[in-house]
Structure 1
Amino acid sequence: MSQPLPTPVATHGSSAPTVAELLDFVRRSAADEDLIASLPLDPEGRTWVHLEGPGGSEAWLIAWPPGTGTGWHDHAESIGAFATASGELKENSLAVRLPASGWRTLELNEGVDRERRLGAGQGRAFGTHHVHEVLNESPAEHAVSVHAYYPPLPLIRRFSRSGAVLRLEQVERPADWQ
């Protein structure tokens, strides 16, 4: 599923990249037509390849078949950014900081839900503790996006959601998705 592809030119400095630098990288990468065209599209499931991100960040080029999504998750202590290269992605997010550990179920307050739609060329950056799900709601069109995280993802926590109740379901480590 994952194979090496040419990587966009990244700025490598001696310091950690900022969210603005990650956002600039994903936007430039999403505009690279040759890079986007090199990603194989699968009609059934997401495909992805690892990219070299700026300043030691972890980056991914991801294809989203119609009707696919990530489910609710966070990126631990990593900051990040993503940009849509083609199609449209919907991001549902929570304006809440979850405890790092020691819980399985939380009841969310009203007013914490946020929704964004990101068409081709649009991106967004986020800080640590960002909880969201990303969806391609199109019934017929693939979407493609570029994502970058710093530090490289130490883990992803996956959640289920029923109304106001958020439940921790699984913790994934890099070996689970690379």
Structure 2
Amino acid sequence: MHVSVSPALSSPAAARAAGSAPTQAALLDFVRRTAADTELIASLPLDPEGRTWVRLDGPGGSEAWLIGWPPGSGTGWHDHADSVGAFVTASGELAEYSLAARLPTDGWKTLELAEDVDRKRRLPAGEGRAFGRHHVHEVLNESTERHAISVHAYYPPLPRIRRYSRTGPVLRLEQVERPEDWQ
């Protein structure tokens, strides 16, 4: 499900007029404030079988999303290419698995990862994080009973998402998606 709404939490036109691109800190502040908007969070339609999302107006021309996660759902391994971003869990709990390694940005199909690159974060309601360009991660709702809801923001608006498969230490680039693929 895809719906577009504009919360009154930011003024993208004012930020664009000032010529300032939002920083990771500004994106994190935005997603925290948005996640605290209980009326907005409660308005997200939840599907028992698939993720749902609503597009939001992010600060300074950023792309933002309110996402519902049914029990057991996740993103798979991916990155947001040249965008920086932030996300916060608004309700429920999410887990983020990420790689603490700088990967080459282009020109590869398969990489063997070192043993010490895996990180896991538990993100209960109110918790989140910002991340830089080329941050490879997967986000999961590991609950078997409860939906989770989160708020995400990216700048610049997502030019592409690279999707990966992972078998043990081997990370393989599987697909590159562009905005027209998911909007």
TM-score (norm 1): 0.98
Specify which of 157, 160, 170 is matched with residue 175 of structure 2: 170
CA distance in 2, matches of 1:118, 1:44: 22
Shift of 1:97: 1.6
> How many residues are aligned here?
178
Gaps of 5+ in 2: none
Aligned to 1:103: 108
Contact 1:3-1:49 at 8 Å conserved across structures: yes
Deviation at 1:129, TM superposition (A): 1.3
The structure with the greater share of residues assigned to helix is 2
1:145 to 150, 155, 164: 150
Q: Secondary structure at the match of 1:103?
A: coil
Q: Which of residues 134, 141, 148 in structure 2 aligns to 1:136?
A: 141
* Separation in structure 2 between the aligned mates of residue 22 and residue 11 of structure 1, nearest angstrom: 13
After superposition, residues 50-69 of structure 1 pair within 5 angstroms as 50-69=55-74
How far off is 1:89 after superposition? 0.2
- Provide the TM-score with structure 2 as the length reference: 0.95
Structure 1 residue runs without a partner (length 5+): none
Task: Check the 8 A contact 1:136/1:143 in 2, yes or no.
Answer: yes
Q: How does 1:16-165 map to 2 (within 5 A)?
A: 16-165=21-170
Aligned equivalents of 1:43, 1:133: Cα separation in 2: 20
For residue 4 of structure 1, what is the aligned residue in structure 2? Answer: 4
Contact 2:63 2:157 in 1 (8 A): yes
Mapped to 1, the partners of 2:164 and 2:10 lie a distance apart of 33
Q: What is the root-mean-square deviation of aligned Cα atoms in Å?
A: 0.9
C-alpha contact (below 8 Å) 2:5/2:57 kept by paired residues: no
1:82 and 1:3 map into 2 onto residues whose CA distance is 19
Identity of aligned residues (%): 74
Alignment check: 8 A CA contact 1:5 1:38 kept: no
The whole-number CA distance in structure 1 between the counterparts of 2:98 and 2:84 is 15
Deviation at 1:122, TM superposition (A): 0.8
Q: For residues 135-171 of structure 1, what are the alpha-carbon distances to aligned partners after superposition, in whole Å with 9 as ceiling and x for unaligned? A: 0000000000000000000000000000000000000
Q: Per the alignment, in what secondary structure is the counterpart of residue 83 of structure 1?
A: strand
Q: Which moved more, 1:10-19 or 1:66-75?
A: 10-19
